[in-house]
Amino acid sequence: MRCIPSTVTILVTALTLLAASAALILQSNAETIGSSYTSTAPRDCRVRSAGNGVDDSTVRVCPGKNGLIVLIAEDDLRETVSVGRNRLGASREPAAQTWFGPFNSTTNTVEWRAANGRPYATIQRWHIADNADPDKDGRPIAKQMLAVTRLSPGPVCHVAYVDVAANPDANELARRAADELARQFKCGQDKVKTVGNSGRAVELASR
């Protein structure tokens, strides 16, 4: 004697198969997000004069990820950092025109946030001189800040700032900002966001 499946059994089986199919579709469409790193140390880059007649002005063209380069221009103890397919392209991005008033510099490590191997944001640590807080020799003590920069498609520009001293989890906050804000950020329309607690470094950068 054969057992005829009940309507309930058939319905449960159908729902199980449907859920399994949906899970496979979601898994196939899921993004793999992670970080990788490159160096902007002078030894790892092409360094040349900026060509503007200022003795201490230099330009570094450094290898990035996925065919991109990092362009660092230094002039009068201040830096700008941009990203593009080549030096000319990077120099035309909004990030190349974004600079801070106080003397500043960047660390030699760039963190790249990528989805399925395609980078969409960078995170870099900046040191911004605080003239109101000199050391025993009268030199301004630098305050640290993480800057999140969106990448192409679309313009390259700053998206968010994270004050390192004010946020013990500054690195995680910067990664979250890169993941949640960078790809939807509209350069020239949206305002750069201070993520986490504000602090002296962000205050100096925002002047």
Q: What is the pLDDT along the chain (207 residues), one digit of tens a residue?
A: 555 555 555 454 545 555 554 443 444 357 899 999 999 999 999 998 766 555 568 999 999 999 999 999 999 999 999 999 999 999 999 999 999 999 999 999 999 999 999 999 999 999 999 999 999 999 999 999 999 999 999 999 999 999 999 999 999 999 999 999 999 999 999 999 999 999 999 999 987
Q: How many CB atoms lie within 10 A of CB 3?
A: 6
Instruction: Indicate the number of domains in the chain.
Output: 1
Examine residue 191 and state whether it is found in any structural domain, yes or no.
yes
Examine residue 175 and state whether it is found in any structural domain, yes or no.
yes
What is the pTM assigned to this prediction? 0.82
Examine residue 27 and state whether it is found in any structural domain, yes or no.
no
Name the residue with tokens 């993520």.
195
CB burial of residue 69 (10 Å; 0-12, 13-18, 19+):
buried
Query: Could you tell me the residue range of the domain that residue 110 belongs to?
Result: 35-205
Examine residue 15 and state whether it is found in any structural domain, yes or no.
no
Examine residue 176 and state whether it is found in any structural domain, yes or no.
yes
